[in-house]
Structure 1
Amino acid sequence: MGSVIGGLLPLAVGVAVSPIPIIAAILMILSKNAGGAAKGFAVGWVAGILVVTGVMTMLAGILGGTDSAPSTGASIVKIILGVALVVLAVIQWQERSQTEVPGWMKAIDTLTPVKALGLGALLSGVNPKNLLLCVSAGVAIGAGGLSAAGDLVAIVVFTLLASVSVLAVVVGYMLAADKLGPTLDSLREWLQLNNHAVMAIVLLIMGAVVVGKGIGGL
């Protein structure tokens, strides 16, 4: 269990430090429908990570192998996922000078809690960058040779760690709105300016980690 959780930590950090969902959460907090939209977004974010990681864990279990002796199939999948993350890192780096705000962010003021929930699920479970990280985590858990209960614990731990940044923004603002408001606005501005560069570095590191684990299992 310990080795599997340890292998999930860098992937969870990669999801947690993704700038876009943090920016979205901050914008919702500062929007007209702050409370409802932000809470809905947080629930959708957690649900998206949980579902994708859980499904991939079940599929990866079919490949067989254990954490100490992974199957060839699981190792090849990890290498492919790692290379895909590196490719995305290169794309993000090439786009690092782009600071334009996405269209959906401009419409955040009009989001209802239900729409915010759907947006959270899409950004966490369908967004290509996070999708690859969650899929990599699911493969790592499924190929870890854990029991069903162990898989469940690993999925929950990964989900909580991957969601900590968004949850911290939403819960922190609920507890100390007056103190955190200016700080969150400054953080939003910095993340918007450095979004692509941050993600490029994160994805490159995560890709190297996943490729290394895949090669090590061959």
Structure 2
Amino acid sequence: MSLLEVLPLAIVMIAGPQILSPIFLATSEKWRTNSIAYVFGAFLSISLVVVVAYLLGNSFGGGGGLLGASAKQLLYVVVLILLLYAAEETYRKRNVTEPPAWMGKLTTATPRFSFRLGFLLLGVFPTDIVTSMSVGTYLAANGDPVTDATGFILLTLFILALPSLAVVVVGERAEAALPEIRDWMNDNSWIISEAVIALFIVLTLQNLLG
């Protein structure tokens, strides 16, 4: 069940500059290599944070077995704190309607820059690192294998790759539509993120109190 529970958090991962960046990169001069580099950087950072959080959470179990009741409760409390922080951070930045100035430079970005951007945005950005840590810790608390995070990671990467995939499939029509999608995401993605975080908070509270 944990595999399905963590999947919606992929939406939280891509809200904000994380999805706006690949939209810009999809219309850059080297859009193919830039998009691949960005997604690959994101893959490495997300995977790293999830695995580290999982291993740290599992260490409470005394050697990798199923966690004891008290350790599981503690991990659920940690997950709850992380989620509440993510919700507060998302709400606090809800009125940031203009993308950062550096995004205007993405149309002339290099693959190396795109890789670093994907790695840092998805691995170091506050809401993303907190979300990835929540996934790893939640799986550890449930005694589930870390491979259950695969779906969460792949769904996040697929959404990040959608702008470039759209250009491949429909060409110029996608390039014309991407700015409108970018503006809509910039204005409304925080609402979707808050709804997903709220859902996961409810699931965590059920596990904590149950």
TM-score range, shorter chain: 0.7 to 0.9
Aligned to 1:189: 183
Could you tell me the TM-score, scaled by structure 1's length?
Answer: 0.80
Which region of structure 1 is more displaced relative to structure 2, 77-86 or 55-64? 77-86
Deviations 1:51-75 (A, max 9, x none): 1111222222212264xx7642233
Aligned to 2:152: 158
Match of 1:132 among 130, 133, 145: 130
| Superposed counterparts of 1:1-218, under 5 Å | 3-15=1-13, 17-64=14-61, 66=66, 71-146=69-144, 150-151=145-146, 153-216=147-210
Deviations 1:181-212 (A, max 9, x none): 22222100111223444433333333343344
Distance in 1 separating the partners of 2:73 and 2:9: 16
Q: Tell me the CA shift for residue 91 of structure 1.
A: 4.0
Distance in 1 separating the partners of 2:105 and 2:76: 37
Deviations 1:142-163 (A, max 9, x none): 33435xxx43x32323311232
Q: Percent identity?
A: 22
SS for the counterpart of 2:143 is coil
Which region of structure 1 is more displaced relative to structure 2, 161-170 or 199-208? 199-208
How many pairs were matched up? 207
Structure 2 gaps of 5+ residues are none
Distance in 2 separating the partners of 1:96 and 1:145: 35
Could you tell me the TM-score, scaled by structure 2's length?
Answer: 0.83
SS for the counterpart of 1:62 is helix
Do 1:63 and 1:71's aligned partners in 2 also have CA atoms closer than 8 Å?
Answer: no
Do 2:39 and 2:115's aligned partners in 1 also have CA atoms closer than 8 Å?
Answer: yes
Do 1:84 and 1:207's aligned partners in 2 also have CA atoms closer than 8 Å?
Answer: no
Q: Tell me the CA shift for residue 40 of structure 1.
A: 0.9
Question: Per the alignment, do residues 90 and 118 of structure 1 end up closer, same or farther by CA in structure 2, a change over 3 Å counting?
Answer: same
Structure 1 gaps of 5+ residues are none
Do 2:80 and 2:204's aligned partners in 1 also have CA atoms closer than 8 Å?
Answer: yes
Which region of structure 1 is more displaced relative to structure 2, 160-169 or 77-86? 77-86
AA aligned to 2:196 is: V
